[in-house]
Amino acid sequence: MSPAVSREGIALDCPAKINLLLRVGPARADWGGRHRLDTIYSAVSILDRVELRPREPGSGFRLHMEGEHLGDLANNDADPHANLAVKALLAMAQATGHQPDVAIRIIKRIPVGAGLAGGSTDAAGTMLGLNRLWKLELGAADLDEIAAGLGADLPFCLHGGLSHGSGFGQVLEPLDPTSAEARNLRNAGLTGRLLIGAYEDQLSTAQVYKAFDAIGPSPGDLNDLQKTACALHPRSLLALDLARRAGAGPAFVSGSGPSVVAMVPHLDQAATLIRLWREQNAVDRIIEADSPVLPRMVPLRVTHG
């Protein structure tokens, strides 16, 4: 790398999201077939690390993924353009006239294709990181506009924290932690310590919404997609049954699944549920986390030797 190119890069810790409530309306032709949503997003403390480093002018981008559970991304070496972080880089370059001469390194900890918005948060981290790396000083409205074409969860991931979402997920109203609505979520046991039961296999968001159109919403559940996700992935249903048996707090499928979330305010509930999930092989991986996490990702400067 030429000395003219700074070795200084940017690193961000990018949180996963869960939906504390997910109401799904009909698909709309004028929204490209996307469904109307009424949801409460919460960022959770499972963090992908995204690092961005400038490359020699004219040399293009590089993508490097690390992690033990890369899902279908493990085969993506051949086509890095399919990676949402790369799509975000190219969209930012196009919108601002910069060359996409950037090395992206992602340390993946968020389960892939799991309903936890791992791809969207990597893309949001890439956008916020480039805003700093390229000294763009784009505001929230500019970033939202660039993000609009890239995925329904991306606008929330740019803002983080706790937020009401409507439209197809892109219309956000942040929830103040002291508001009555946030207090109701706490009283309902929907904030704090949780366990995520994750799987090696994935559910495609498009496949779940298509099946939802035939199956319909789940009366009584916090997540309208739950019945559909469990029909496509029966181990998620078993994991939810075991959460009830363990006496855990509210338990639900995360987004379009297949991951399940169980609130565990008490340590003994967590211990019982971990034992039951393992004994009955109801999940492949158990991750402990907290929700909601601090709003906004903070780009940190890092120097690569």
Task: Tell me, letter by letter, the H, E, C secondary structure of 175-204.
Answer: CCCCCHHHHHHHHCCCCEEEEEEECCCCCC
The two beta strands, 251-253 and 192-198, are unpaired
- The CA distances from residue 3 to 9, 53, 230, in Å, are 14, 14, 55
User: Half-sphere exposure of 230 toward its Cβ, with a 13 Å CA cutoff?
Assistant: 19
Which residues between 11 and 30 bind ligand ATP (CB under 6 A)?
none
Q: Is 216 left (phi over 0), alpha (psi -120 to 50) or beta?
A: left
Write down the least CB distance from residue 205 to ligand ATP, Å.
Answer: 4
Q: How many CA atoms lie within 13 A of 120 on its CB side?
A: 28
Is 17 noted as a catalytic residue in this protein? yes
Residue whose entry in the numeric block shows the structure tokens 């990676």: 83
Nearer to ligand ATP, 77 or 176 (CB): 77
Among candidate residues 13, 48, 153, 224, the one labeled active-site is: 153
> Which residue in the shown chain puts its C-beta closest to ligand ATP?
119
Residue among 117 and 273 whose Cβ is closer to ligand ATP: 117
Per-residue string for binding with ligand ATP, 129-158, x by CB under 6 A?
------------------------x-----
- Of 17, 87, 108, 227, which one is the catalytic site residue? 17
Least distance to ligand ATP from the beta carbon of 243, Å?
Answer: 20
Q: How far apart are CA 178 and CA 176, in angstroms?
A: 5
Give yes or no for residue 258 binding ligand ATP (CB under 6 A). Answer: no
210 is catalytic: no
From CA 233, how far away is CA 153, in angstroms rounded? Answer: 22
Name the minimum Å distance from CB 14 to ligand ATP. 9
The stretch among 78-86, 139-147, 223-231, 264-272 that binds ligand ATP (CB under 6 A) is 78-86
In angstroms, give the least distance from the CB of 23 to ligand ATP.
Answer: 16
For 286, the 3-state DSSP assignment is strand
Q: Find the binding residues for ligand ATP in span 25-54 (CB under 6 A).
A: none
Neighbours of 266 (CB within 10 A): 12
- Sites for ligand ATP among residues 94-133 (CB under 6 A): 106, 112-120, 122
Helix (H, G, I), strand (E, B) or coil at 226: helix
Binding test (CB under 6 A) with ligand ATP, winner from 191, 218, 226, 256? 256
Rounded to the nearest whole angstrom, what is the least distance from the CB of residue 123 to ligand ATP in the complex?
7
Can you tell me which of 170, 191, 205, 291 binds ligand ATP, judged by CB under 6 A? 205
- Residues annotated catalytic, as ranges: 17, 153
